[in-house]
Amino acid sequence: MSAIILYTLSLSFLAFSLVKDRNKTKLAIKKAWKSFTNLVPSVITVLSLVGISLSILNPDMISKLIGSESGIFGIFIALTLGSITMIPSFVAFPLAGALQNGGAGYAQIAALVSTLVAVGIITLPVEVKYFNKQTAIMRNGFAFIIAVIFTLVIGMVMS
């Protein structure tokens, strides 16, 4: 039901925009379409990799590596994987649900998702290019520290 409401609102705002300024609306639609088409290949690739990974990693292996009984070692694995992996947040959250269903622990999932979303070792060269080296390293360092704190809080609250 909420999807119907959201689509109706979106179409209503689009119609309003068309009435207000047809040219700007057409330009916005073209830009949105271009963004969408640029995003689709990476989303399909990421979803495929996640699907393949989840089909290879059975629930027992997930529980062994990042299950709640894996403790600090599992958290360390999740923090490391999340920091070096590049997955958009709209894929990370469904992945977290799948991992939770597969037996991963809450603290380990929190570690993985928070570093996936906030820390970017892979994207560090791009950050250095647009910012500077010190800023990029500090941002990633602080994001990692916050991810660790978040993980500890989730670990305490959910255990």
Q: What is the pLDDT of residue 112?
A: 92
Give the tokens for residue 57.
């990693």
Average pLDDT score over residue span 73-101: 86
Average pLDDT score over residue span 72-93: 87
Percentage of the chain surpassing pLDDT 70? Answer: 94
Query: Strand locations in 14-136, DSSP E?
Result: none
Rounded distance between C-alpha atoms, residue 51 and residue 53, angstroms: 5
Rounded distance between C-alpha atoms, residue 115 and residue 133, angstroms: 20
Q: What is the pLDDT of residue 9?
A: 93
* The total number of residues written for the chain in this structure: 159
pLDDT digits (tens, 9 = 90+) for 87-99: 778 778 888 888 8
